[in-house]
Amino acid sequence: MKQRTLTITGGKLVTGEGVAPGAVRCVDGLIDAVGDIAAQDGDEIFDAGGKLVAPGLVDLGVFAIDKPAFHFGGITRAGLMPDADPPLDHPARVRFAAQSGKPDFWVHPLAAATAGLAGESLSEIALMREAGAKAIATGRKWIADSGVMLRLMQYAAMLDMVVIAHAEDSAIAGNAAATAGEMATRLGIPSAPKQAETLALARDIALAEMTGARLHVRQITTAQGLALVREAKARGVGITAGVTPAHFMLSDLAMAEFRTFARLSPPLRSEEDRQAVIAALGDGTIDVVSSGHDPRGPEDKNLPFADAASGMAGAETLLAMVLTLVRDEVIDMPRAFALMAQNPAQLLGVEAGALDMGAEADIAIIDAEAPWVVDSRKMAASAGNTPFDRQPVQGRVTALWKGGAAIAL
Amino acid sequence: MTSSLDPIASGRFPAGALAFPHRDLIAISALERHEILYLLQEAERWVTFNRQPAKHTDTLSGLTIINAFFENSTRTLVSFEIAGKRLGADVVNMHAATSSVKKGETLIDTAMTLNAMRPDAIVIRHGASGAVRLLAGKVDCPVLNAGDGQHEHPTQALLDALALRHKLRERGEGAEDFTGLTITICGDILHSRVARSNILCLQAMGASVRVCAPPSLMPEGIEAMGAQPFHDFDAALRGADVVMMLRLQNERMDGQFIPSPREFRYLFGLTQERLALAVDDAIVMHPGPMNRGVEIDSNVADLPERSIITAQVEMGVAIRMACLDVLTRRLRGVPGWAPNSPAGDMV
C-alpha cells in the first residue's frame, strides 16, 4: 500500500547536532529529506506548531508488548526481553514475537542466552538471529556459572551480537527485595549489599575484555558499578551501560510504607548512588535509558513487599523523566534522544532512532513543556504500577508516526 | 469488678481519644513517647487484675476478636487469646499456615473474608514484613500486629518495657522511663522484629541501646536507628544495666549465617562469666522461645533476682489487654473516645 507523502513542518528538529527549525519529508514510510526543506505539491502537511520533532523512541529491554503505553510514551520500537512464559529461547517463538507488534509497533526480540533462561546451557542463538532476534539477553537474572557466561560471550563475539546482561550476583542477592541500608533495616525487608552489582559487573567486564564480545548491561545502579564501566570504557572494552528512570529519580526511601510499586530489580539504591547515576548520565558513562516496562496488576503487587513481583510500568513516563534531566541541565536535548533512541537502535543494529535520510519514518512530535500528573489509576498501560504515581511532570507526545503512518493517540 | 481498678491518672496524658489517636497498633515507629507510656500505664491495672483469683471482666463483652496467625506461634497466640477472654470478648483463633495462604490475592481475600464476619478487632501475625499493614488497609476494625516478618512486634516491645519497669520499681529504682539505662540486645538482630520494636521503644523511653551480633546477623544501617552496634559481646556487656538475648531465627535464614550453634554460644552465648561483665545485678531478658545452651545458659536464664523472663510473659497478657481495651474504646462508645464526643468528656 502506497502511503501519501508526508511533510512535517513548523517544528524544531532534534538531531545529533542540536535542536533547530526544519522539516522532515517522508516517502513510502522512509525519511526522504530532513532539514531546511519545503513540502512539495500533493504532500500531506503536518504543522508541528513549534514543538519538537524527534525520532520515535527505541526502548531497549521491556517485558511486555503493551502498545497503548508505548504509543503514549512516543515509543515506536522495543527490544523485548526473553523472560516470557515460555521464554524466547526457541526460533519459532522469536519469529512470532518479532511479528507481534506490526504494523504500528516494532518488536525486536532479544534471544534468551540459555535454554529456559536457566543459565546452564546455551540456546540456539544463531537460529534465533535468523528468526529475527536482534541481540542476546541473559534475562532478569545474572548467569551465575562463569563457564557458561564465558562460552556465551565467545559465541556472541563470533556472531557479533550484543549480550544484554543483568548485573546482580545471585548468591549475594539471594531472596533480597531491597538494598541493605537504613530503609531496608527499618522496614525489615530482606536485603543484599549493593556490591552484588559490583561483583557481577567485574566478572562480566573481564569476560567481555577477554572475548571481545560487546556487552550491554541493562541497568547499572551504583556508584561503584559506574566507576567500573568508566574504567572499562577507558581501556577500550566493548561495554555500554543502561539504566531506567527509577534509579535516577528515586532512592530506597521510595519503599516507605512498603510501597510495592517501588519493588524493582535491581532494588532502589541509596541517595548517593542515585546521584552517581545522574552524574554518569551527564558524563556519558551511561549510554541508554530504557523504560523497563513491566506492567503488573494487583495480583502481583498487592502483596507484602518481599512477596510482590518486581518491576514497573515505565513506558508512559520514560520521556518525561528523561526530560527532567534536560531541564536540570544534566544533559542536552540531543543527548536525551541519543539515550532513548539512537544508542539503543545502534545496539540492536536497526536503522532507526534518528532523523536520518533513508531511515524508517518513526517520528514523534513532543511538547516538551506540557505539564501532566502521573496517575497510577489512569494509565494507558495494562497495569498502573508506576513508582512515580502523583508526580507532576512535563513533556508529552502529541503526534506519532511509525513508518510514516500516523498512530492515533 | 472494673470499679476496683485504678482510674486513669488525670492530667498526665491528653484527654480521651487524644491519648491514643490510632485505629491500629502496627508498629512502635508510628507511636509517640507519650502514647507508649499511656499504653504501659493502661496495662498496670491489668497486671494487678490478672493476679486475682477471678480474672474476668465484661469490658469487651459482645465483641468478637479474631486472632489470625499466618505463622506458627504458641506464646503470643495464647497470650492474646487469654487477654481477649479475660476482657470478656469472644475470641476466635485462625491458624493459617504460611504456605497455604501466601500467594496472590488470597491474602487480601482472607482479610476481606474475615472482615465480612464483622470482627471488632483482628490480631495478625504474618511471616512477611509489611503484611499486617497491608491487611489493615482492607478491614474496617482495629488491627493489632502480633509480628510481621522482620519488621515489628510492637506488643512484645511494650511488654518488655512493662516487665523492665516493674523490676526496676521492685528494686526501688522506680522511674517511669529508662533514662540513663544502657540496654544490650544480643543475638540474631538481622531477622528479629523484636529487636527492631525494642530498639525504638527503649530509646523512646530514654535508654541507650546497644546491639550485638556477628556481621552476618547485623542489619546494615542499624546505627541510623540509634542503636550502637557491637560484634564483641564482652565489650557490649561492659556497663550494661540490662541484657536482652534473642534466639537464632533459623526459619528466616536464607543460607548459612553462622558455622554452628556451639560456635555461636562460644562467641555470643550469655554465660554466668559473661554476665559478670555487665553491672552488678544487671537484669536478664529474653522474649522466648529460648534455646538454652545456645544464646543463653540455663543458670543465667533461671537466676531468680536477675532474670525477668517469666515476668515478661506475665506482662504480655496485661499489655495485650490494655491494647485491646484502648483500641476498641471508639466502637464501644467509651466517653471521650466515641467518634462524635468531645475529647474532654473523658475525665
Enter the C-alpha cell of residue B29. 515507629
Residue listed under C-alpha cell 478487632 = B121
* 3-state secondary structure (DSSP) of residue B94: strand
Return the bridge partners of A372, or none. A393
Eight-class DSSP state of B270: B
Higher pLDDT, B95 or A291: A291
Contact B221 A258 (CB under 8 A): no
Interface test with B, best of A172, A175, A252, A303 (most B CBs within 10 A): A303
Q: Find the residue in A nearest to B126 (Cα).
A: A304
CA nearest A296 in B: which residue? B104
Instruction: Please list the residues that pair with A393 across neighbouring strands.
Output: A372
Query: What are B2's three cell numbers?
Result: 472494673
**Cβ within 8 Å, pair A186-B196:** yes
Distance from CA of A172 to the nearest CA of B (A): 10
pLDDT of residue B139 exceeding 90: yes
Residue of chain B whose Cα is closest to the Cα of A180: B220
Length of chain A: 409
Chain A residues in contact with B225 (beta carbon < 8 A): 182, 185-186
Across the A:B interface, residue pairs with CB atoms under 8 Å apart total: 84
Residues B144-197: tens digit of each pLDDT: 999 999 999 999 999 999 999 999 999 998 778 999 999 999 999 999 999 999
β-pair type (A363-373, A52-55): antiparallel
> Is residue B237 scored above 60 in pLDDT?
yes
Q: Chain B residues with CB inside 8 Å of A186's CB? A: 29, 196, 221, 224-225
Does residue B114 have a pLDDT over 60? yes
Helix (H) or strand (E) holding B300: helix B298-301
What is the pLDDT averaged over residues B7-19? 71
Give the pLDDT of residue B4.
Answer: 32
Cell for A270? 541509596
Distance CA A224, CA A234 (A): 15
- Chain B contact for A306 (CB, 8 A cutoff): yes
Distance (Å) from the C-alpha of residue A198 to the closest C-alpha of chain B? 18
Interchain pair A188, B222: CB under 8 A: no
A231 and A216 in contact (C-beta within 8 Å)? no
Q: Residue A73 pLDDT more than 70?
A: yes
Q: Residues of A numbered 236-275 whose beta carbons fall under 8 angstroms of chain B's beta carbons: which are they?
A: 257-258
Q: What residues in A contact B196, CB-CB < 8 Å?
A: 185-186, 188
Q: Which residues of A touch B137 (CB under 8 A)?
A: none
B242: enclosing H helix or E strand: strand B242-245
- At B290 the pLDDT is 95
Please tell me the distance from the alpha carbon of residue B93 to that of residue B107, in angstroms, as a whole number.
17
pLDDT for residue B6 is more than 60? no
User: Is residue A63 within 8 Å of residue A81, measured between CB atoms?
Assistant: yes
Check residue B102 and give its pLDDT.
53
Distance CA A246, CA A274 (A): 9
Residue with cell 497498633: B25
- Average pLDDT of chain A is 97
HSE-CB of A142 using CA atoms within 13 angstroms: 26
Nearest CA-CA distance, residue B219 and chain A, Å: 6
Span B339-344, average pLDDT: 55
The pLDDT value recorded for residue B252 is: 81
List, in order, residues 6 or more apart from B112 with CB less than 8 Å away: B138, B139
State the DSSP string of B143-204: EEEEEETTTB-HHHHHHHHHHHHHHHHHTT---SS-TT-EEEEES--TT-HHHHHHHHHHHH
Q: What is the ipTM of this complex?
A: 0.90
CB B120 within 8 A of CB B141: yes
CB contact under 8 A, B130 and A299: no
**In whole angstroms, what is the distance from residue B232 CA to residue B223 CA?**
16
**Residue B90: which residues within 8 A CB-CB, separation 6 or more?**
B62, B63, B64, B65
Chain A environment of B219 (Cβ under 8 Å): 180, 184-185, 191
Q: Which residue has the cell 482472607?
A: B110
Pick from B108, B129, B133: CB nearest A189: B129
Contact list, A183 vs chain B (CB under 8 Å): 221
In a 3-state reduction of DSSP, which class is residue B36?
A: helix
First to last CA, chain B: 20
Q: d(Cα B106, Cα B179) in Å, to the nearest integer?
A: 45
Query: Is the pLDDT at A160 greater than 80, yes or no?
Result: yes
Write the residue in B130, B134, B254 that is nearest to A187 by C-beta.
B130
Q: A275 to chain B, minimum CA–CA distance in Å?
A: 19
Check pLDDT > 70 for residue B8: no
* pLDDT one-digit tens code per residue, A369-405: 999 999 999 999 999 999 999 999 999 999 999 999 9
Mean predicted confidence (pLDDT) in A160-187: 97
The pLDDT tens digits of the residues spanning A251-271 come to: 999 999 999 999 999 999 999
- The Cα–Cα gap between B10 and B25 comes to 24
Question: What is the per-residue pLDDT for B100?
Answer: 52
Helix (H) or strand (E) holding B228: strand B228-230
Q: What are phi and psi of B339, to 5 degrees?
A: -50, -40
Is-contact A184 A241, C-beta < 8 A? no
- What are the pLDDT digits (tens) for A292-322? 999 999 889 999 999 999 999 999 999 999 9
Instruction: Compute the distance between CA of residue A89 and CA of residue B10 in angstroms, rounded to an integer.
Output: 72
What pLDDT, on a 0 to 100 scale, did the predictor assign at position B282? 97
Query: Is residue A77 predicted with pLDDT exceeding 70?
Result: yes
The whole-model pTM stands at: 0.93
Report the gap between the CA of B39 and the closest CA in chain A (Å): 23
User: For residue B1, what pLDDT is reported?
Assistant: 35
Structure confidence at residue A373 (pLDDT)? 97
Name the β-bridge partners of A45.
A7
Calpha distance B264→B163 (Å, rounded): 27
Nearest to A165 by CA among A236, A224, A219: A219
Binding-site residues on chain B for chain A (CB distance < 8 A): 29, 102-105, 107-108, 126, 128-131, 133-134, 148-152, 193, 196, 219-222, 224-225, 254-255
pLDDT at A363: 98
**Alpha carbon A302 to chain centroid, angstroms:** 26
Measured in whole angstroms, how far is the alpha carbon of residue B84 from the centre of its chain? 16
A1 in contact with chain B, both atoms CB, cutoff 8 A: no
Q: What is the pLDDT of residue B9?
A: 44
Q: Using CA atoms, how far apart are residues A128 and A135, in angstroms rounded to an integer?
A: 9
Q: What is the pLDDT of residues B89-108, one digit of tens each?
A: 999 999 876 545 555 557 88
* In chain A, % of residues over pLDDT 70: 100
Q: How many CA atoms lie within 13 A of B82 on its CB side?
A: 16
Which tens digit of pLDDT belongs to each residue from A116-159?
A: 999 999 999 999 999 999 999 999 999 999 999 999 999 999 99
The residue written with cell numbers 533461671 in the block is B302
Say if residue B346 is exposed, middle or buried (CB neighbours under 10 Å; 0-12, 13-18, 19+): buried
d(CA B193, CA B287): 11
Set of cell numbers at residue B191: 531477622
pLDDT at B72: 86
How close, in Å, is residue A179 to chain B by CA atoms? 9
Q: What is the torsion angle, in degrees rounded to the nearest 10, for the CA atoms of residue A218, residue A339, residue A195 and residue A197?
A: 10
pLDDT at A63: 98
SS (H, E, C) chain A: CCCCCEEEEEEEEEECCEEEEEEEEEECCEEEEEECCCCCCCCEEEECCCCEEEECEEEEEECCCCHHHHHHCCEEEEEECCCCCCCCCCHHHHHHHHHCCCCCCEEEEEEECEHHHCCCCECCHHHHHHCCCCEEECCCCCCCCHHHHHHHHHHHHHHCCCEEECCCCHHHHCCCCEECCHHHHHHCCCEECCHHHHHHHHHHHHHHHHHCCCEEECCCCCHHHHHHHHHHHHHCCCEEEEECHHHHHCCHHHHHHHCHHHCCCCCCCCHHHHHHHHHHHHHCCCCEECCCECCCCHHHHCCCHHHCCCCECCCCCHHHHHHHHHHCCCCCHHHHHHHHHHHHHHHHCCCCCCCCCCCECCEEEEEEEEEEECCCCCCCCCCCCCCCCCCEEEEEEEEEEECCEEECC
Among residues B229, B243, B311, B309, the alpha carbon closest in space to that of B275 is found at B243
pLDDT class of B82 with cuts at 50, 70, 90: very high
State the nearest Cα–Cα gap between B314 and chain A, in angstroms: 27
Chain B CB contacts of A258 under 8 Å are 129-130, 133-134
The answer to whether A305 faces chain B, any CB pair under 8 Å, is yes
Nearest to B151 among A174, A187, A193 (CB): A187
pLDDT-based confidence at residue B341 (cuts at 50, 70, 90): low
**Which of chain A's residues have a Cβ under 8 Å away from the Cβ of B133?**
257-258
Task: Return the pLDDT at B340.
Answer: 63
Q: Do A305 and B105 touch (CB under 8 A)?
A: no
Q: Give B109→chain A minimum CA distance, Å.
A: 11
pLDDT, tens only, A36-59: 999 999 999 999 999 999 999 999
DSSP B230: E
Check A180 against B220: CB less than 8 A apart. Answer: yes
Listed in sequence order, the residues at least 6 apart from B273 whose beta carbon sits closer than 8 Å to its beta carbon are none
- As a whole-number percent, the residues of chain B with pLDDT over 90 amount to 83
Chain A residues close to B130, C-beta within 8 Å: 187, 189, 258, 304-306
Residues in chain B within 8 Å Cβ distance of A305:
128-130
The answer to whether residue A297 neighbours chain B at the CB level (below 8 Å) is: no
Q: Which residues contact A165 (CB under 8 A, 6 or more apart)?
A: A137, A138, A142, A143, A204, A215, A216, A217, A218
Judged by CB atoms closer than 8 Å, whether chains meet at B219 and A184 is answered as yes
